[in-house]
Structure 1
């Protein structure tokens, strides 16, 4: 489910956590919860691609801060738009198949196409 909001938040989305490419945790050291394609397809084209921040909650967890990417991941040349949520909490186990709810409070920045994976990681460390 994807809902545009007007009072204090940009949008709400909820759906099942699915396997992504594995780049977030393995290559970047930034594990992400990927939303299923049916949710991504509900996002209007008018929703800007880029990085957002807000809150996230899994089925049986408290609410945590999150940073979320919506878009094409230009460095990796994705052919499909994706939604990847980085929850600012260390989890003991994966939660594939669980339901995640996110509320985006603020748009932070657009997606960038980095010249190397090292530059992408450095940018994330210093500016996100």
Structure 2
């Protein structure tokens, strides 16, 4: 695992996820604290903390993780399938956008939903001194519209780092952007890239309403 500065370029073994990964959980996308887009410039899709009870993950460590996110069909997924890139999406490097775009180029089942690379945080967000634990997912893709009410299935494939506090918002943003790059490079490795085809990610029947 090579490094750049004091941060690893990838997380997890190169030959694929090891136990306890993959971890699978799901929930309906809900409104969170509203800070991701407005304050940090990094939008997140939140799911209820109760989603951690799926598969017995209530005790999963707080921290930053990466993996794949399946979204139920919605206006957002049909307008912007995973392979549609946007130059407005400035916090992913152009090389990484191209890599992830190549992974998703064979998508053909948008009527069933869409699968996206994601970086996620589970925890208390000590910088903001939250009083409740949250599950916040950054989908590595630019959307023109929100998808509140869509169902999201998550396959978590690896752990990046523990939850930290920060002396400034700029340091927090810098670390989050690095987390996103690490997530993308980690998912681009073949043993991880092929797991975006896991049927679970597009299984929404019986999980509540599908967004229109």
TM > 0.5 between the two? Answer: yes
SS at match of 1:27: helix
1:40–1:81 Cα contact (<8 Å) kept: no
SS at match of 1:48: coil
| CA distances 1:84-105 after superposition (whole Å, capped 9, x unpaired) | 0000111121011110111000
Match of 1:44 in 2: 58
User: What residue ranges of structure 2 are gaps of 5+ in the alignment?
Assistant: 1-17, 74-112, 181-212
2:69–2:118 Cα contact (<8 Å) kept: yes
Alpha-carbon distance between aligned partners in 1 of 2:161 and 2:19, rounded to the nearest angstrom: 21
Alpha-carbon distance between aligned partners in 1 of 2:19 and 2:61, rounded to the nearest angstrom: 18
SS at match of 2:29: strand
| TM-score when normalising by structure 2 | 0.53
Alpha-carbon distance between aligned partners in 2 of 1:51 and 1:98, rounded to the nearest angstrom: 23
Q: CA deviation at 1:123?
A: 2.2
Match of 1:3 in 2: none
Q: Which has the higher helix share?
A: 2
| TM-score when normalising by structure 1 | 0.86
What is the aligned residue count?
Answer: 122
Q: Which has the higher strand share?
A: 1
Cα root mean square deviation, aligned: 1.9
2:24 is equivalent to residue 12 of structure 1:
yes
Q: CA deviation at 1:57?
A: 1.1
User: What residue ranges of structure 1 are gaps of 5+ in the alignment?
Assistant: 1-5
